[in-house]
């Protein structure tokens, strides 16, 4: 038991255990966040496909059997090199070139199938890169945008695995959580799209987030050594049109680059017990 309620460790591929826990706790909603992300998925393609798809099938079947409301996180990784990169539309070409992206576009269509065929109330957004201080990143192409803050607060230089001018769509964790809850609390009649909604917060490059940090951590430096993740990032959009989410269920981000930077640095300074005079702490 945690301060927020019951806590169980579950392998999402273990369907019978998932069913037991749903019955044990009288679960009414599932936020299905378990998946292998883009970079890790390219290193273990079969495992990524298996976990991302079998895990989704398990929660979709449970949502059907128990009439649960289900959240499925898709990603801007469903877009590929043939997708318009600027202000990527809600309805456009989706030819992803990563296993992760392929699993997410397949997942979107399975979610729509379960809605149309069985009436399962499954809802989804295409998350950009999500940035938060609550945990370290794990296997994504946008991980640099979290790692860079940790190194800045610890007083270390950072070596970025993407090019300095690689612009990607991002979203601060506070906005991501609030927006996801707003989607899940919306009336079913508001949810016009049952594959997945485009969702965006802010776009920036490694150079831009570095400059934002240097406003508060003078002397912080970043070097660039692009690796295989640069090619993944180049296949994704640089900005997203999320007007459908704004019109249908009132989505609106709050955090811009400076606000996010101050919030990240402030929380990480507390975490590492570090003083940041530039931040007035
Ligand atoms: C990744 N953070 O980098 C995830 C996300 C759009 C990126 O899906 O794989």
Q: Which two tokens stand for residue 15?
A: 């369907």
Q: How far is the CA of 38 from the centre of ligand 1 (A)?
A: 6
Q: What is the pTM of this model?
A: 0.96
141 in any annotated domain: yes
Question: How many domains is the chain built from?
Answer: 1
Q: CA-CA distance, 159 to 142, in Å (whole number)?
A: 14
Q: Has 100 been annotated as catalytic?
A: yes
89 in any annotated domain: yes
Q: How far is CA 176 from CA 94, 181, 234, in A?
A: 23, 9, 23
Coil, helix or strand at residue 195: coil
20 in any annotated domain: yes
> Residue 71, Cα to own-chain centre: how many angstroms?
13
1 in any annotated domain: no
Q: What does the pLDDT read at residue 4?
A: 82
Range of the domain at 133: 15-279
Q: Whose CA is nearest to atom 7 of ligand 1?
A: 129
Q: CA-CA distance, 270 to 263, in Å (whole number)?
A: 11
70 in any annotated domain: yes
6 in any annotated domain: no
200 in any annotated domain: yes
Helix (H) or strand (E) holding 75: strand 69-75
Q: What does the pLDDT read at residue 105?
A: 98
* CATH number of the domain enclosing 80: 3.40.50.720
Q: With the C-alpha atoms ordered 182, 60, 98, 134, is the resulting torsion angle positive or negative?
A: positive
Q: Are 197 and 245 in contact (CB under 8 A)?
A: yes
- Mean pLDDT, consecutive 10-residue segments, the chain of 281 residues? 86 98 98 97 98 98 98 98 98 98 98 98 98 94 98 98 98 98 98 98 98 96 98 97 98 98 98 91 75
DSSP symbol at 78: G
Q: Is the CB of 140 under 6 A from ligand 1?
A: yes
Q: What does the pLDDT read at residue 1?
A: 66
Q: What does the pLDDT read at residue 279?
A: 87
Q: Is the CB of 73 under 6 A from ligand 1?
A: no
Q: Are 200 and 239 in contact (CB under 8 A)?
A: yes
Q: CA-CA distance, 130 to 16, in Å (whole number)?
A: 31
Q: Is the CB of 30 under 6 A from ligand 1?
A: no
Q: Is the CB of 233 under 6 A from ligand 1?
A: no
7 in any annotated domain: no
Q: Which one is catalytic: 100, 144, 172, 216?
A: 100
């Amino acid at each position: 038991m945690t301060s927020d309620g019951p806590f169980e460790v579950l392998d999402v591929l273990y369907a019978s255990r998932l069913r037991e826990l749903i019955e044990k706790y009288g679960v009414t909603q599932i936020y299905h966040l378990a998946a292998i992300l883009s970079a890790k998925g390219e290193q273990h393609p079969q495992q990524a496909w298996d976990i991302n798809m079998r895990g989704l099938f398990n929660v979709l079947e449970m949502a059907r059997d128990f009439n649960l409301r289900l959240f499925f996180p898709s990603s801007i990784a469903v877009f590929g090199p043939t997708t318009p990169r600027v202000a990527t539309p809600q309805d456009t070409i989706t030819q992803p070139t990563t296993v992760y992206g392929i699993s997410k576009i397949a997942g979107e269509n399975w979610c729509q199938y379960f809605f149309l065929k069985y009436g399962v109330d499954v809802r989804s957004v295409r998350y950009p890169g999500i940035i938060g201080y609550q945990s370290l990143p794990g296997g994504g192409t946008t991980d640099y945008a979290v790692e860079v803050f940790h190194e800045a607060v610890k007083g270390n230089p950072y070596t970025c695995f993407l090019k300095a001018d690689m612009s990607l769509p991002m979203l601060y964790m506070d906005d991501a959580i609030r927006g996801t809850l707003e989607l899940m609390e919306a009336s079913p009649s508001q949810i016009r799209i049952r594959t997945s909604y485009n969702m965006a917060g802010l776009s920036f490059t490694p150079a831009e987030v570095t400059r934002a940090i240097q406003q508060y951590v003078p002397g912080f430096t970043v070097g660039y050594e692009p690796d295989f993740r640069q090619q993944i990032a180049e296949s994704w959009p640089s900005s997203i049109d999320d007007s459908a989410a704004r019109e249908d269920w009132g989505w609106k981000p709050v955090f811009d680059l400076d606000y996010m930077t101050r919030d990240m640095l402030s929380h990480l300074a507390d975490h590492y017990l570090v003083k940041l005079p530039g931040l007035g702490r």
